[in-house]
Amino acid sequence: MNISFDQMPSSARAWVYTANRILTPAESDLLMQRIAPFLTEWSSHGTPLKAACQILDQAVIVVAVENGFEAASGCSIDKSVRILKDLEQELGISLFDRLQILYKKEGSASAEVLPLPLFKNKLAAGEINSSGLIVNTQVTTVGELKSELWKEVKDSWLARFLPSTTV
């Protein structure tokens, strides 16, 4: 059962995927068109799931399931991964490469995708500072998504790569 993301309660389970590049509006539209039928038919052990998807910042794909309605099972989660893998192929993107960092400079509205080695080089060179923002792919609920999707570098797993004088 495909519902509007705005209807998802804060307790809904969320999965966050970042694309390895910024999506064009046409690609975002295509992704949403392709995933909508899947969400409409998505079920867990024959019981429909109340699910939603949205794209944030032109590179963050979020899939959510309302836990109180019917919880997603391992098999149903595998099905969602399969549709996302198909969309990767169709759009020529990667959604599962955690070494691609979606980054926003402090105060910037636009994001850029940086491979981890380049991100680390920019940190070392002072081109990225500890107050810059990265996508937190570790959020697990819609509530966390709303408050913790973007984290400062200094509060993320990437803090270990900050020069010792900036921590």
Is pLDDT of 91 > 90?
A: yes
Sequence-separated (6 or more) residues with CB below 8 Å from residue 39: 1, 2, 49, 51, 52, 53, 63
Q: Residue 119 corresponds to which tokens in the numbers above? A: 């991100």
Higher-pLDDT residue of 110 and 59 is 59
| C-alpha pair distances (Å), 2 with each of 50, 89, 120, 148 | 6, 23, 39, 24
pTM: 0.88
Q: In this predicted model, what pLDDT tens digit does every residue of 129-161 receive, in sequence order?
A: 899 999 999 999 999 999 999 999 999 999 999
- pLDDT interval class at 74 (50, 70, 90): confident
The pLDDT assigned to 165 comes to 59
Residue for token digits 């270990």? 160
Q: In this predicted model, what pLDDT tens digit does every residue of 15-52 receive, in sequence order?
A: 999 999 999 999 999 999 999 999 998 888 888 888 99
Q: Which of 3, 5, 53, 7 is nearest to 30 (CA)?
A: 53
109: three-class secondary structure by DSSP: coil
CA–CA gap between residue 153 and residue 156 (Å, rounded): 5
Is pLDDT of 68 > 80?
A: no
| Burial grade of 144 (CB within 10 A; 0-12, 13-18, 19 or more) | middle
Sequence-separated (6 or more) residues with CB below 8 Å from residue 8: 52, 64, 66, 142
